[in-house]
Structure formats: structure tokens, C-alpha cells
Structure 1
Amino acid sequence: MRIAVAGSIATDHLTSFPGRFTEHLLADRLDTVSLSFLVDDLEVRRGGVAANISFGLALLGFTPVLVGAAGTDFADYDAWLREHGVDTQSVQVSPARHTARFMCTTDADQNQIAVFYAGAMAEAADIALSAVAARTGGLDLVVVAPDEPAAMLRHTAESRELGIPRAADPSQQLARIDSDEARRLVDGAWLLFTNAYEAALLQERTGWTERQVLDRVGSWITTEGSAGLTIKAADAPSVTVPAVPTDHVVDPTGGGDAVRAGYLAGLGRGLSPEHSAQLGCALATTVLETVGTQEYKLVPAEFTTRVADAYGAAAAEAIRSRVVGDP
């Protein structure tokens, strides 16, 4: 399966606050918040939703096509992605802007406060999927991940015109788009990804009920943090897959992107939706145990054992034989 992942490419600036944000928020002063937190450390890591999903897919044996806009500082990041198996030839490099920046602080309860600077991402709408499909010899799936909204809308429309199945992942950009745009991004998607909060926000933005959303997509995958994820479809029973437990969460950033990479990889290798979700959850836990979104490694024997411990021997064997492989 040839997968194009269209979306953000960014550098993550990750800091940790040893206290709790909630202890510094005054209920009667929320209309005039002015806070500064002294953080303990700074980690500068590679990120961006599309780049993170692409990295995970490459780690699982695919050669994903990354579609997005980066800046004048992209050379080292580009080399890193290519070294790990990502096709970056469809990345548009801006001659004047920096690559997008994600700046995030995590507190002792794993709550996060983050801001995002778009930078070169503003130029992503200039990229034509038709050119990507022509260069690669055709695409089997396009993931429309968070990006400049105009780019998300263009890539959604082009995937329809080209007849390419689409996975819609509006997530962080739901706060920036209006009702009509939200409906256009969702309608007709083969897969729809959200987290639990975004699921409610998506219904508010579209004005559609859960049933109306399900009538317009193939499957709706909703991640629920430590509770795992749920797969829903209009014509099938709901499936809930628990998360893979860990007592060593280092950094929650990128867990959702890993779920998406694992789920897509599983489907691409012919796994059932349930086994694909188990693969995604196991990969997400691996990411949570590492600082940064692309710093983790996949050791087949250890990964297979982790899946077996969480989901049983049959699931582990299916995932090992189809996706992860032997040591």
C-alpha cells in the first residue's frame, strides 16, 4: 500500500513543569490569565503530525510519502526522515520561512499547554496531490492530517477528484475551521481519526450527531488516552481496544500519531481493524516511554512480547507475521 501523509512538519520544543497547572489557575480570574511557569528542562525534537505518522509507518516497513511544507532549516530533518525510510520528495521547502514550531509544556499530571507557529506550513496549500500521485505511480491512501486549513481542504477535494481513499484526521485544526469546512473534511472519509475531546468538538462543528457522522465515513477511530481506543462504523458493532499499560510514561507527545501509524500499517498489511488497533496502541505506548515523537526504536522480539502480554498470543502472532517481522 502506497500511503501519502499530508500535514504538518514541525520542530517540537518540549519543556517540563514540576508542579500542576491547575494549582495556579484561579477560578474567579480566568478572564485575565497571566501566568509564567519556570520549567526544568528543554528538549528540541523533530515533530509535526504528518512527519510523526510517516516516521511510524516507515519504522513498520512502509515507505510513506510525506506531503507538506517545511522551511529553510529543513535540511537536517530531511536527511533524518530519508535515513529512516520516509519519501520526502513531495515536501515543498520555503525559501523564506522557518519550519513550523510546536512549543509545549507538560506538568506533573501530564496536562499540557502548547502553542503552534505555522511558519512554512502556510505554503502547504500550494502542493497538488495530482503531482504527488504522478511522481509515485499512484496512491492507495491519502491521510489528511492537521495542516494549514486551506491545504487540508485542497487535499481532501483532490483525493475525491482522483478517486483515492482518504483518512481524515482534522484533530488540532477543528478549533480553526468553520462548520462547512469541518463537514467537507469529514464527509466521505474511509477512516476518521479523533481523540475523545475532538469527537465532541467535531460534532459541535459539523452539527452532525454521532450517527450522522458514521453514515458519512467508513470507520471512526477515537483514541481515549489510557483507556485505549474505540472503532465505530455504521454497519458494525463498536470495538474497544484497551491501551497497552506502562508505568514509565516519560512524554505524552506523539502518542496519538503513533496510534494512527500503527492502525494504518495494520490495515495496509491485511490485519483486522481490531489487530490494527492493538498494533497502534502498542506503538503508542512505546512512544510514551520516550522523550520526543521520533526517538523511539522498535525491537521486534520485545514488541511482540509486549503485544502478547496485553492482547494474547494470537494477536501477537498476527502482528508479528504481517507487520513487525522477526528479530
Structure 2
Amino acid sequence: MSLLIAGSIATDHLMTFQGKFADSLVVEQLDKLSVSFLVDDLEIRRGGVAPNMCFGLAMLGLRPVLVGAAGEDFRDYRSWLERHGVDCDSVRISQSLHTARFVCTTDTTMAQFASFYPGAMSEAREIELAPIVERVGEPDYVLIGADDPDGMLRHTQECRDRGYRFIADPSQQLAFGEGALIRSLVDGAEMLFSNEYESHLITEKTGWSAEEVLARVGTQVTTLGADGVRVTQRGEQPIEVSAARGVEALEPTGVGDAFRAGFLAAFAWGVGLERAAQVGCVLAAYVVETVGTQEYSFEPAGFVARVRSSYGDAAADEVAAHLPGLS
């Protein structure tokens, strides 16, 4: 299956302050605020929804095409992704802007000072899908994830105009987007991804009922956190899959992206929606047990063992038939 994964490309710069920000703030002087904090460490993590999903897809044997905008500083990140099997030849490199960046300092009370720099992400609106399709061939699906809103709209409309089947995954943009934007991103999608809170945002902001949303998309996949996932289709009974067993949660960032990667990989194998949700939940377990969105690894046999312990022998045997090194 050919998958184009469009979305944000970013890096996270995370620092820890071994004190309390509140001890350095004078409430009466906040209009003259000028403070600095000596931090103990700096972690630079790879991120962005599109590379996170591409990494997971590649780990399961697919070669996804990354679609997004980054800066000249993307070189090392690109090398990392390409070493793991991601096609990065269609990433737009800005001539003037850095790759999007999240910079955050956290104190001992978990209070944070943070900034987000969109940078090159704003140039996603300049990306046309047709030349990418000409290079890699007609895609089975184009996933349109959280990114520059104008870029998301452009990709969605181009998919409609050219007949590319698309998957809507607006995620973080739902909190900021207005109803017209969200309706444009969702209507006509072959598949809609969201978590449970985001599904309520979609109905609230679009003015559509849950039934009306489902009437406009082929399949709706709603993640439920520790309760697993629900998959709904028009005229069908919902499919509910529990989360993977034996998970030792450490850090949740990127878990949703990993679920989507696992789901889409299994969907590409043709194993059905329930099995796809199970594979998504197992891949998500690896991420939640790791600090960093792309720092996990596994052997195919170990992955199958986790599927077996969570969902039984039939699921494990079916997944094993598709994993590289086991088929």
C-alpha cells in the first residue's frame, strides 16, 4: 500500500529546572517580568505528527512518504528517518525558516514555560501533492494530519479534486480551528481519526451530530486512552478493542501517532479493522513505555508475543504472517 503522510515536522527542546518558578515571580511586578533559570539538562527529541507516524509505519515494514515542510536544520532528522525506511524526498526545505520547534522548561511542581515556533511549517501550504504522486505513483491513501491550517485545507481539497482517497486526522488543530475549517477537513474522508475528547470537539464545532459526522466519513476511529479504541462505520455495530495488556506507562507523548501508524500498517496488510486496532494498540504500548516519540524498538517476534498476550493466538498468527522477518 502506498501511503502519503502529511503533517507537522518538529523538534522538541525540553529542559528541567530544579526549583519552583513561583519563587522567582513577584506578582506585583509581572508587567516588568524579566527572569532566567539555570536548567540542569536539555533533551532534544524528534517530533511532529507526520514523522512520528512514518517512523511507526516503517518499523512495521512499510515505506511511507513523508509530506511536510522543514528547515535546513532538518538534515540530521532526515538521515534518521531515512535509515529507518521513511521516504523523505518530498519534504519541502525552507530557504529562510527553521524547522518548527517546541521549547519548554518544567520546574519541580510541573509548572512550565513554553514556546512554539511554527517556522517552516507555515510553508506546508506551498506543497502540491500531484508532483509527489507523479514520483511515487497513485497513493492508496493520503493522511492529512495536524499542520499549517492552510496547508491542511490545500491537501484536502487537492485530494477531492484529483480523486485521492484521504484520511482526516486534524487532532491538535481542532482546539484552534473554527467550524468551517473542521467541516472542510472532515467531509468526504475515507477515515477519521480522533481521541474521544476531539470527537466531541468535532461535533460541537461543526454543528453535526455524531451520526452526521459518520455519514460524511467512511470509518471513524476514536482512541479511548487506557480503555482502548472504538471503530465505527455506517450501518455496522461498533468495534471495541481493549488496550494492550501489561503496559508500564512512562510518557504519553506520541502515543496517538503510534496507534495510527500501527492501525494503518495493519489496514494495509488487509487484516480487517479489529485486527488493525489491535496492532495499533500494541505499537502504542511501545511508545508509552519509552521517553521520546521515536526511541522505541522491537524484534518482530517480541511484537507478535505482545499481540498474543493481549489478543490471543489467532490475532498473533495473523499479524506474524505480515511482519518482516516472520512472514
Q: Which moved more, 1:263-272 or 1:112-121?
A: 112-121
Structure 2 residue aligned with 1:298: 298
Corresponding residue for residue 214 of structure 1:
214
For the residues of structure 2 that align with 1:114 and 1:272, how far apart are their CA atoms? 41
Report the equivalent of 1:235.
Answer: 235
- Rounded to whole Å, the distance in 2 between the matches of 1:280 and 1:54 is 13
1:134 and 2:121 correspond: no
Which residue pairs with 1:174 in the alignment? 174
Give CA-to-partner distance per residue, 1:76-106, whole Å, 9 cap, x none: 1111111111111110001111101134678
Q: Does the C-alpha gap of structure 1 residues 320 and 37 become closer, same or farther in structure 2, counting only changes over 3 Å?
A: farther
AA aligned opposite 1:230: R
Residue type of the alignment partner of 1:296: Y
Contact 1:270–1:322 (CA<8 Å) still a contact in 2? no
2:272 corresponds to? 272
1:257 counterpart letter in structure 2:
D
| 1: CA distance, partners of 2:139 / 2:101 | 29
Shift of 1:161: 1.2
Amino acid at match of 1:320: A
Percent identity of equivalent pairs:
52
3-state SS of paired residue (2:73): coil
Moved more, 113-122 or 84-93: 113-122
Range 238-247 or range 97-106, more displaced: 97-106
Deviation per CA, 1:108-139: give whole Å up to 9, x if none: 99999965321100000000011111111221
Shift of 1:290: 1.2
1:82 paired residue number: 82
Whichever residue aligns with residue 129 of structure 1, its letter is L
Q: Distance in 2 between matches of 1:168 and 1:113?
A: 31
Letter in 2 for 1:151: G
- Counterpart residue identity of residue 152, structure 2: M
- Which residue is equivalent to 1:44? 44
Match of residue 310 from structure 1: 310
Distance 1:56 1:283 in 2: 8
Taking a change above 3 Å as real, the CA distance of residues 95 and 262 of structure 1, as seen in their structure-2 partners, is same
**RMSD of aligned alpha carbons:** 2.9
Could you state the TM-score of these two structures normalised by the residue count of structure 2?
A: 0.89
CA, structure 1 residues 236+151, in 2 after alignment: closer, same or farther (shift >3 Å)? same
Between Structure 1 and Structure 2, how many residues are aligned? 318
8 Å contact from structure 1 (residues 249, 288) kept in 2: yes
Change in Cα spacing, 1:154 to 1:196, as seen in structure 2 (3 Å) is same
Amino acid at match of 1:274: E
Mapping of 1:236-255 within 5 angstroms? 236-255=236-255
* 1:11 alignment partner in structure 2: 11
Map Cα deviations across residues 209-267 of structure 1 (whole Å, 9 max, x no partner). Answer: 10000000011111111111111112211111111134522221110000000010011
After superposition, the Cα gap between the structure-2 partners of 1:64 and 1:110, relative to the gap in structure 1 and judged at 3 Å, is farther
Divergent runs of 4+, >6 A? 16-19, 36-40, 105-114
